């Protein structure tokens, strides 16, 4: 057998870490469903042509798929999806006659991206998306609603404080038009680098690339530096003296979002006018989410409105969506020691064996306990009780069940307390029934 060689960019969690990930997925899924989103799952592959049409860098990210045994044309033209938005757009077009619009969907799946692995960026990872699409027109109020759904989900998770940054594409678009800038997309791409390269290099690129004057570049930076946790950003923008009807529309839209945010999730949303992201997708509101104090790690949740991603030539299906980078978020919290699973197995009770002949009776006891929702396993082999207790302890199993001459007893191996127990009625404390997520003091 050949030597096993790890592949970078393909994270694999150990059982206790997987418990943390599953708890996150449970909370996210339950929250999405509370807000009326229906679950779908799309195929892992799409035609390469469709994938490569979604942005100038898309072809660099695609993992191609082909059969090794046969090189048929269909298989050679397939690629693994690098996000869930492109396959969802195709899904809407393919099933539009069977869907009821507006269609609210959530999707939790693996995606694959052919990029250089680094911390927080993987070749295979899990995303959790919500989108709302409509036929023909999509009301703006959905752009207000979606970040509140994410705020609800994150508020239920044991994560550090976070902020959801929000902007509308109409604000920079209208502002740049008011300044007489023609290459709006080019300027947005440069401004999007502000956190990475700083204002001096952004100014340099704005004057050397799109050829802005020094004063115009200053105005562009002044807009990008505006942020607020309420609607006060609008007056800051107007104070810059630039006027355009598209700018007015954007300011009104973002004001509505921030007003709703402060009513339902005060302090969690920030109007941040440098957020541009997804220039190949998004046409309206855009979102990014960062952990406060760990901004250098980048966004853990992002999205926006798209008006033309799904169209069959007759009908356009505009939508708005947000994607949680589940693997990115969970891996960061685990690697920094902020979270860990309370045990490496769902098992709450290990049934010990006096002798191998007792296995049949132990199995019957296990069936009784499981019928009442208690996770149980029978010891792998009869051995000295001390050895069986150590086996349970290594896996974090809190209770060991014994058969004695006077009847059944259960031992809490953490405290050492051992009491008589009836398999028809005994139940562990609620906090021990299932594994939980343990947090460090700084994350509480």
CATH number at residue 308: 3.30.930.10
3-class DSSP state of 127: strand
Contact 327, 125 (CB under 8 A): yes
What does the pLDDT look like over 248-292, one tens digit per residue? 999 999 999 999 988 988 988 999 999 987 767 788 999 999 999
Contact 171, 234 (CB under 8 A): no
Six-digit token pair at 89? 């757009």
User: Total structural domains in the chain?
Assistant: 2
What does the pLDDT look like over 25-35, one tens digit per residue? 999 999 999 99
Among residues 332, 399, 339, the alpha carbon closest in space to that of 16 is found at 339
Task: Say if 7 falls within a structural domain.
Answer: no
Q: Judge whether residue 444 has pLDDT over 50.
A: no
Which pLDDT score, from 0 to 100, does residue 195 have? 83
Among residues 235, 207, 208, 234, the alpha carbon closest in space to that of 221 is found at 207
Q: Strand (E) positions, 118-222?
A: 124-133, 162-168
Contacts of 196 (CB under 8 A, 6+ apart): none
Element (H, E) at 107: strand 103-112
Binding residues for L-histidine: 83-85, 113, 127, 131, 277, 281-282
Among residues 142, 133, 141, 169, the alpha carbon closest in space to that of 312 is found at 133
Please tell me whether residues 191 and 77 are part of one structural domain.
yes
Binding residues: 83-85, 113, 127, 131, 277, 281-282
Please tell me whether residues 382 and 324 are part of one structural domain.
no
Six-digit token pair at 399? 């209770």
Task: Say if 3 falls within a structural domain.
Answer: no
How many angstroms separate the CA atoms of 85 and 57, rounded? 16
Please tell me whether residues 196 and 241 are part of one structural domain.
yes
How many angstroms separate the CA atoms of 85 and 130, rounded? 10
Which of 340, 371, 396 finishes a domain? 340
Name the burial class of residue 189, with classes exposed (0-12), middle (13-18) and buried (19+) by CB atoms within 10 angstroms of its CB: middle
How many Cα neighbours within 13 Å face the side chain of 69?
A: 0
Which pLDDT score, from 0 to 100, does residue 251 have? 97
Six-digit token pair at 300? 């853990």
Task: Say if 238 falls within a structural domain.
Answer: yes
Contact 267, 280 (CB under 8 A): no
What does the pLDDT look like over 290-330, one tens digit per residue? 999 999 899 999 999 999 888 888 999 999 999 999 999 99
Task: Say if 1 falls within a structural domain.
Answer: no
Which of 340, 372, 387 finishes a domain? 340
Eight-class DSSP state of 311: B
Please give the angle made by the CA atoms of 164, 165 and 171, to the nearest 5 degrees.
Answer: 150
How many angstroms separate the CA atoms of 415 and 398, rounded? 9
Q: Strand (E) positions, 273-421?
A: 285-291, 301-306, 319-325, 339-341, 349-351, 376-378, 399-404, 407-412, 418-420
Please tell me whether residues 326 and 360 are part of one structural domain.
no
Please tell me whether residues 136 and 235 are part of one structural domain.
yes
Which residues are paired to 404 by β-bridges? 407
Please tell me whether residues 335 and 374 are part of one structural domain.
no
Please tell me whether residues 83 and 114 are part of one structural domain.
yes
Please tell me whether residues 252 and 357 are part of one structural domain.
no
Please tell me whether residues 315 and 377 are part of one structural domain.
no
Q: Which pTM was predicted?
A: 0.91
Q: CATH number of the domain that 387 lies in?
A: 3.40.50.800
Please tell me whether residues 416 and 273 are part of one structural domain.
no
Length of the chain: 444
Domain that holds residue 23: 15-340
What does the pLDDT look like over 189-236, one tens digit per residue? 899 888 889 999 999 999 998 889 999 999 999 999 999 999 999 999
């Amino acid at each position: 057998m050949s030597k096993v060689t790890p592949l970078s960019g393909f994270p694999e969690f150990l059982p206790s870490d997987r418990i943390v990930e599953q708890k996150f997925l449970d909370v996210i899924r339950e929250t999405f469903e509370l807000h009326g989103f229906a679950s779908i799952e799309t195929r892992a592959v799409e035609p390469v042509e469709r994938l490569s049409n979604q942005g100038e860098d898309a072809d660099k990210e695609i993992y191609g798929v082909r059969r090794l045994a046969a090189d048929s044309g269909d298989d050679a033209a397939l690629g693994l999806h690098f996000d869930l938005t492109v396959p969802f757009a195709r899904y809407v077009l393919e099933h539009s006659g069977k869907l009821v619009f507006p269609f609210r969907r959530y999707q939790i799946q693996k995606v694959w991206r052919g990029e250089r692995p680094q911390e927080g960026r993987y070749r295979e990872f899990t995303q959790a998306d919500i989108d709302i699409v409509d036929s023909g027109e999509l009301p703006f109020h959905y752009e207000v609603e979606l970040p509140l759904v994410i705020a609800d989900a994150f508020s239920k998770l044991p994560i550090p404080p976070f902020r959801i940054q929000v902007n509308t594409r109409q604000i920079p678009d209208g502002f740049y038009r008011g300044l007489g800038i023609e290459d709006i997309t080019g300027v947005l791409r440069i401004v999007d680098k502000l956190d990475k390269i700083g204002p001096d290099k952004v100014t340099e690129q704005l004057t050397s690339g799109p050829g802005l004057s020094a004063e115009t570049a200053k105005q562009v930076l002044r807009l990008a530096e505006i942020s607020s946790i309420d609607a006060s950003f609008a007056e800051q923008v107007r104070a810059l003296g630039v006027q355009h009807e598209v700018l007015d529309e954007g300011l009104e839209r973002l004001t509505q979002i921030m007003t709703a945010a402060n009513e339902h999730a005060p302090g969690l949303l920030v109007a941040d006018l440098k957020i541009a992201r997804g220039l190949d997708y998004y046409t309206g509101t855009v979102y990014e989410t960062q952990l406060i104090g760990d901004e250098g790690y980048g966004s853990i949740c992002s999205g926006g409105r798209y008006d033309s991603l799904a169209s069959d030539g007759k009908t356009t299906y505009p939508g708005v969506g947000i994607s949680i980078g589940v693997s990115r978020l969970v891996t960061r919290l685990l690697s920094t020691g902020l979270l860990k699973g309370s045990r490496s197995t769902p098992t709450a009770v290990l049934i010990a064996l006096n002798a191998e002949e007792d296995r049949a009776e132990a199995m019957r006891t296990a069936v009784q306990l499981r019928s009442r929702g208690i996770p149980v396993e029978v010891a792998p082999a009869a051995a000295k009780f001390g050895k069986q207790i150590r086996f349970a302890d290594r896996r974090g199993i809190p209770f060991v069940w014994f058969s004695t001459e006077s009847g059944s007893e259960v031992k809490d191996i953490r405290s050492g307390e051992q009491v008589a127990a009836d398999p028809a009625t005994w139940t562990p404390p609620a906090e021990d029934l299932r594994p939980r997520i343990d947090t460090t003091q700084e994350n509480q």
